[in-house]
């Protein structure tokens, strides 16, 4: 009787609905098999960008398609001979949506009460609708979210645009009103005029502003600033809800990072391996008022160069493994940290550094110099070491200017502005200048400080700028740096330094020479990338492997760059000008 009823219901469906059910069956089977045989840490990157979310609203046609897919997955999940739990349903539905170029967000959450042990749940949202796992999802605290970072065919409030795939839709920088207002909100010193401007915004303007904050990876800080300005009631409810959820996710993510930091720190201390906590993990509790205001993507740690091998052994003992093999001697020639380390069940990486500057900016800085001024600190209850304020500022300026040529996001500048606002009198500015000069970072540090003054009027002592200012100083360089950083992290990440150099080569012989050096790098470079012995005969095989990886990673990007798209050309020109100027010495 049950089979007869099922066949009767199937007969009443259209052919399109039958094929949809068949597709759902296929993906539920594939997903179930993958979850049984593949570690989730390898599946997670395919679900989208961690801690990103799709738009709260979608067009009616998109909503109808998403609803049909949710129906198909839920219907088949109840009837599969294997277990099709919430995670399998969410992944299957997300895969089907992605094949139709529809954005969605997959959430992972936990819940715990006195009568039951901790429970986990997964659900999928598209627009405002929960497609799978809707029952009781409100009771779960979101730990992670996965959404497409780059748009398929249209822009949405939380989708990050990319000039590589959508060149005609991406402006050179964000619209000036949005840029100015975002920077005004991020000002460490709240201004009454900013609050008045925010209260006049309509829903569309709020969506543009919130999207810009999300693109710059400062959404949780933006939310905190709105609270300080007392304008939260002016925010459209759906955007306010998303910001609150993002703040909660960031808080939980950072707590997870500090939990791992405690485990690592205890083992390092027991083995007498000193440990300096770098960048976001230090700043989130030592500088920011609330742990959720500063998004932290990874755990950056600095150990003495002589203790790197010992630190690696400790990390292995804690379950961390590097993502690729390495030889330390080769790495020292090209990098300043080990390959990224990951751990099963942990959704963030760890990087072990022996220096804060990578070659060639480290040529005047020896790692031992960094350990002469460290001070003890406590981060979320964990004892660790940290840099003094002036060295924190130098490191952040180094990261923004020399490591990324300002092709990053606003986080480093917000970090610096807040440190100076809180600790201006405690910063040893004389030592700051002295070390910038000794390490020949004057240009990058000066340009970064100039941006801080332009954005927020940050109170940098006049003698600091006078000592660091290059002569002559190109008049439009600050504008180029501002445009580069405000162009958006996703856009900038689509254009690497290598591609900028390729495009910047004016002559055909110059391009040929660059491509040759790109295809036939030094053996030490291959050793640093793949962990092979540079003196072994097998190193030549890694040229083939490197070519395969280059084609796999860069074919589409290269083609679009070489076609000479307008916005890409402008970004490449900016990056080349900044790189060339930063490479010079005072």
pLDDT in the model for residue 515: 65
pLDDT digits over 277-299, tens only? 999 999 999 999 999 999 998 99
pLDDT digits over 392-434, tens only? 999 999 999 998 888 888 999 999 999 999 998 899 999 999 9
pLDDT digits over 243-252, tens only? 988 888 888 8
Percentage of the chain surpassing pLDDT 70? 79
Is pLDDT at 161 greater than 80 in this prediction? no
pLDDT in the model for residue 160: 37
The full DSSP string for 101-122 is T---EEEEEEE--SSS--EEEE
Residue 215, C-beta contacts closer than 8 angstroms, at least 6 positions apart: 160, 161, 409, 488, 489, 490
* Mean pLDDT (whole number) for 360-367: 80
Return the CA Rg of the chain.
Answer: 25
pLDDT in the model for residue 173: 46
Sheet holding 375-379, edge to edge: 321-322, 341-342, 350-353, 299-302, 276-277, 382-386, 375-379
Q: Is the pTM for the entire model greater than 0.75?
A: no
Give the residue, 491 or 283, on which the prediction is more confident.
Answer: 283
Instruction: Give the C-alpha separation, 60 to 58, whole Å.
Output: 7
The full DSSP string for 453-498 is HHHH-----HHHHHHH--SS--TTHHHHHHHHHHT-HHHHHTS-HH
**HEC readout, 496-547:** CHHHHHHHHCCCHHHHHHHHHHHHCCCHHHHHHHHCCCCCCHHHHHHHHHHH
pLDDT in the model for residue 164: 30
**Mean pLDDT, the chain, integer:** 83
The listed range with the strongest mean pLDDT (100-109, 261-270, 357-366, 503-512) is 261-270
Is pLDDT at 159 greater than 80 in this prediction? no
User: Residue 558 has which token pair?
Assistant: 């290269």
Cβ-count burial of 237 within 10 angstroms (0-12 exposed, 13-18 middle, 19+ buried)?
exposed
Is pLDDT at 336 greater than 80 in this prediction? yes
Is pLDDT at 551 greater than 80 in this prediction? no
User: Residue 175 has which token pair?
Assistant: 């619209």
Is pLDDT at 214 greater than 50 in this prediction? yes
Confidence class of residue 175 from pLDDT cuts 50, 70 and 90? very low
Is pLDDT at 487 greater than 80 in this prediction? no
Confidence class of residue 163 from pLDDT cuts 50, 70 and 90? very low
The full DSSP string for 424-457 is TTTS-HHHHHHHHHHTT-HHHHHHHHHHHHHHH-
User: Residue 449 has which token pair?
Assistant: 């400080």
pLDDT in the model for residue 26: 93
pLDDT in the model for residue 3: 47
Question: Long-range contacts of range 464-469, CB-CB < 8 Å, 24 or more positions apart?
Answer: 464/429, 464/432, 464/433, 467/433, 467/437, 468/433, 468/436, 468/437, 468/442
Give the range among 117-131, 159-173, 189-203, 357-371 with minimum mean pLDDT. Answer: 159-173
Q: Would you call the peptide bond into 360 cis, given omega within 30 degrees of 0 as the criterion?
A: yes
pLDDT digits over 516-530, tens only? 666 777 766 666 666
pLDDT in the model for residue 354: 94
Q: From the CB of residue 55, how many other CB atoms can be counted at a distance below 10 Å?
A: 24
pLDDT in the model for residue 512: 65
> β-strands 299-302, 276-277: how paired?
antiparallel
Confidence class of residue 66 from pLDDT cuts 50, 70 and 90? very high
Percentage of the chain surpassing pLDDT 90? 48
Query: Of all residues in the chain, what percent are helix, strand and coil, respectively (each to 5)?
Result: 60, 10, 35
pLDDT in the model for residue 145: 86
Contact indicator for 292, 254 with CB cutoff of 8 Å: yes
Instruction: For the chain, list the domains and their CATH numbers.
Output: 13-154 (no CATH), 275-464 (3.30.460.40), 492-583 (no CATH)
pLDDT in the model for residue 48: 85
Taking the alpha carbons at both ends of the chain, their separation in whole angstroms is: 86
Is pLDDT at 533 greater than 90 in this prediction? no
């Amino acid at each position: 009787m049950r089979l007869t009823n099922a066949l009767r219901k199937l007969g009443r469906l259209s052919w399109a609905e039958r094929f949809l059910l068949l597709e759902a069956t296929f993906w539920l089977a594939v997903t179930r098999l993958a979850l049984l045989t593949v570690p989730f840490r390898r599946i997670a990157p395919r679900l989208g960008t961690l801690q990103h979310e799709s738009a709260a609203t979608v067009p009616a046609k998109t909503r109808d398609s998403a609803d049909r897919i949710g129906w198909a997955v839920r219907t088949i999940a109840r009837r599969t001979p294997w277990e099709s739990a919430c995670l399998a349903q969410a992944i299957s539905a997300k895969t089907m949506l992605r094949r139709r170029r529809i954005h969605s967000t997959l959430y992972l959450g936990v819940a715990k009460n006195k009568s039951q042990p901790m429970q986990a749940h997964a659900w999928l949202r598209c627009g405002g609708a929960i497609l799978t796992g809707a029952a009781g999802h409100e009771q779960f605290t979101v730990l992670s979210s996965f959404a497409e970072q780059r748009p398929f065919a249209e822009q949405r409030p939380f989708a990050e645009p990319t000039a590589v795939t959508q060149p005609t839709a991406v402006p050179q920088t964000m619209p000036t009103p949005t840029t100015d207002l975002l920077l005004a909100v991020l000002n460490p010193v709240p201004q009454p005029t900013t609050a008045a401007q925010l209260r006049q915004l309509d829903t569309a303007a709020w969506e543009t502003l919130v999207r810009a904050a999300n693109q710059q990876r400062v959404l949780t800080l933006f939310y905190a600033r709105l609270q300080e300005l007392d304008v939260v009631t002016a925010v459209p409810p759906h955007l306010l809800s998303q910001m609150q959820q993002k703040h909660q996710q960031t808080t939980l993510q950072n707590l997870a990072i500090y939990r791992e930091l405690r485990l690592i720190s205890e083992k390092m201390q027991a083995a007498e391996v000193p440990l300096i906590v770098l960048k976001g993990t230090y700043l989130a509790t030592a500088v920011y008022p609330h742990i959720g205001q500063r998004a932290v993507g990874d755990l950056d740690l600095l150990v003495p160069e002589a203790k790197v091998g010992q630190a690696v052994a400790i990390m292995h003992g804690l379950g961390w493994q590097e993502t690729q093999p390495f030889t330390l001697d080769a790495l020292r020639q090209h990098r300043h940290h080990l390959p990224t380390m990951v751990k099963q069940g942990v959704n963030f990486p760890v990087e072990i550094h022996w220096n804060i500057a990578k070659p060639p900016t480290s040529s005047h800085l020896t790692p031992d110099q960094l350990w002469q001024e460290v001070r003890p600190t406590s981060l979320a209850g964990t004892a660790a070491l940290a840099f003094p304020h002036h060295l924190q500022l130098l490191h952040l300026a180094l990261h923004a200017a020399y490591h990324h040529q300002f092709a990053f996001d606003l986080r480093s500048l917000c970090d610096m502005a807040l440190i100076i606002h809180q600790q201006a009198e405690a910063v040893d500015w004389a030592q700051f200048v002295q070390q910038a000069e000794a390490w020949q970072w004057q240009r990058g540090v000066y340009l970064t400080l100039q941006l801080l003054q332009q954005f927020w009027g940050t109170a940098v002592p006049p003698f600091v700028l006078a000592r660091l200012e290059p002569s002559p100083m190109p008049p439009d360089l600050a504008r180029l740096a501002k445009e580069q950083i405000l162009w958006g992290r996703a856009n900038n990440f689509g254009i690497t330094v290598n591609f900028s150099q390729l495009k910047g080569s004016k002559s055909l012989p110059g391009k040929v020479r660059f491509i040759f050096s790109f295809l036939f790098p030094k053996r030490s470079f291959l050793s640093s990338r793949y962990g092979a012995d540079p003196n072994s005969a097998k190193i030549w095989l890694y040229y083939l492997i490197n070519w395969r990886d280059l084609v796999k990673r860069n074919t589409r990007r290269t083609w679009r760059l070489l076609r000479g798209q307008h916005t890409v050309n402008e970004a490449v020109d900016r990056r080349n000008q900044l790189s060339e100027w930063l490479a010079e010495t005072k």
